[in-house]
Copies of this chain bind each other. A is one copy, B any other.
């Protein structure tokens, strides 16, 4: 039998202007535009292989080696849209194999612990759509394909680009203008770094889809956020990125994270994603910026307690001595920072920070953090020759 395969990797993205609220739950149309930074795939990525063959009997999915259902309406919608685009090609070129009629085998794996609670659905749906688009040799642009990924998981649309990405909410009822666009490529501002503090969550969060609906339906303050706060911030943040203005980018990022969590708290019943550890990290970041009388770090929190800290490479020697001091024993340093680099952080802290820093450093903060992930801004989906499906058998290798 002939098995056609195509593989791609897709990145995680972390919003700096948050997506929270759907105006159409079926199409994943948002109540506001959002902006994100795409993270490097060495650290966080999904690898997906899509395969098809006349002989396949049914659509099948394997996640991290385990068979998973493809039955979710969102996944089905993505497959249906991609098959429709493939069918258009086939209609114009009879020589093409009729893949739009064939079943798909899809294998996917993440290079990061799903336990980390890092939203993997964005990378997952982005990789799914891109792998199948590659398999089908679709000519559509990333923005056009982002509308399909969006139907799988809203924020997935932003993972179709590298660097700095906007999801323009659009206004059409059918979502035809709700797509991701590039704000600036990776090369425009490659110095952006991200340190993820994986915070131990005591309790399962409210799922973001139901949480969003609860906020839209019950928060008195939410309408103000989407009506006037975010639209203004959206333009400001694009300008900050265009100007590589980290202090402004950082302030807007921190304010928008707080604004999003404020509307969660204003929901009824209230939704809490940040915990005491998250709040201590917020206070720490402000204390560090106050210490330097400069903005060297920004925090942002998604629908969970994990903290993502953005900073510029040039400020690594200002921020990392604090992180090294507080999270000395926490997993995540290996292979990222040499013993020599960490010794310098330690020296910097003891010689230049410890005695001058007036805020309280919580020596127990590390207890709430299970893992550190040091990463940076990265590119969009990548083609790869690495395949998760055996081209002879059509099943995972």
Contact = CB atoms under 8 A, between A and B. Distances in A.
Interface residues on chain A, size class: 20 to 34
Contacts of A263: 221, 262
Interface stretch (A85-93, A147-155, A252-260, A384-392): A252-260
A262 B220 CA distance: 11
A270 B257 CA distance: 10
A224 B229 CA distance: 11
A251 interface: yes
A366 to B, nearest CB: 16
A89 to B, nearest CB: 47
Contacts of A224: 220-221, 223-224
Copies of this chain per assembly? 2
Contact of A275 (B254, B266, B276): B276
Contacts of A272: 279, 282
A269 interface: yes
B275 A220 contact: no
Contacts of A259: 220-221, 266
Nearest to A229: B220
Interface string A207-237: 0000000000000110111001100000000
Contacts of A228: 220
A265 B262 contact: yes
Contacts of A251: 268
A270 B285 CA distance: 11
A382 to B, nearest CB: 37
A282 B270 contact: yes
A286 interface: yes
A272 to B, nearest CB: 5
Nearest to A276: B276
A222 to B, nearest CB: 9
Contacts of A265: 258, 261-262, 265
Nearest to A272: B279
A394 to B, nearest CB: 45
A262 B261 CA distance: 8
Which of A202, A229, A270, A286 has the most C-beta atoms of chain B within 10 angstroms of its own C-beta? A270
Contact of A258 (B229, B266, B276): B266
A287 to B, nearest CB: 9
A258 B269 CA distance: 9
Contact of A268 (B225, B255, B261): B255
A308 to B, nearest CB: 16
Contacts of A225: 220-221
Given A221-B225, A224-B224, A269-B282, 16 more contacts: A203-B360, A220-B259, A221-B224, A221-B263, A221-B266, A223-B224, A255-B268, A258-B265, A258-B266, A259-B266, A262-B265, A262-B266, A269-B283, A269-B286, A272-B282, A275-B276
6 contacts: A202-B276, A220-B225, A220-B255, A221-B221, A221-B263, A276-B276
The 6 residue pairs across chains A and B that have the minimum distance between CB atoms: A224-B224, A262-B266, A262-B262, A221-B221, A262-B265, A220-B229
